[in-house]
Structure 1
Amino acid sequence: MSALPSAEWQNPSCGACHGDVEHDGDSFVCADCKLTFDSHDLTAERIDEDEPVCGRPCDSSWHAVHAIVPGGGFQCGACPLTAAHTSPHYTSCLPVPVPIPA
């Protein structure tokens, strides 16, 4: 009778691009977003704090179209990743709930 395999722990995914990260012995690293994540609490830091911030605003045409819904839409920010990132821009867009009429 063969033994059943044990489950394997997996690395977390990047909070910005949701891609795979590598563990460098100290922290998890997303090479595309140029971020490191603390091994204990998964907080993020830029790999190179001296690199300029990307700052590109959200360019989602879908967000722009839905922003015209009265009282609803999306609250979008600028990309906080470094200018050297190769991943899609992370603009932390959050939906704004449409108020329910009283």
Structure 2
Amino acid sequence: MESTVQIASLGPGAIAVAAGSAAREAALNARENLSEAAAMIRESAARQALPLKNNLSEIGPRMTRRERYHLHAIRSYRGRRPDPDSAKRAGNAFRRLQDRINRRARQ
């Protein structure tokens, strides 16, 4: 509190310098926190993706050629025009295919 009062008593120039250094420090802290959060997210995604990759490697050889084709086509689908319903339709088709694959895996 005393340092703030001293800076304020020095005038507007000192306040601007102090505010600038505080802003730089806050930006550095935010950048460090963001880097840490990004690393945690990457690690979490890698942990969650591993079982899915293992499951796909087991199911993949049992998929028919047509199922592999459709799975690849859905993953790389890009519409010609922005269409909000196309993403929904592609997601539904992908879910149906996943359900079908899961049913085959249980058999």
State the TM bucket, normalised to the shorter chain: under 0.3
Structure with a larger share of its residues in strand = 1
- Larger helix percent: 2
Higher RCO (C-alpha 8 Å, min separation 6): 1
Q: Which has the larger radius of gyration?
A: 2
TM-score between the two structures when normalised by the length of structure 2: 0.20
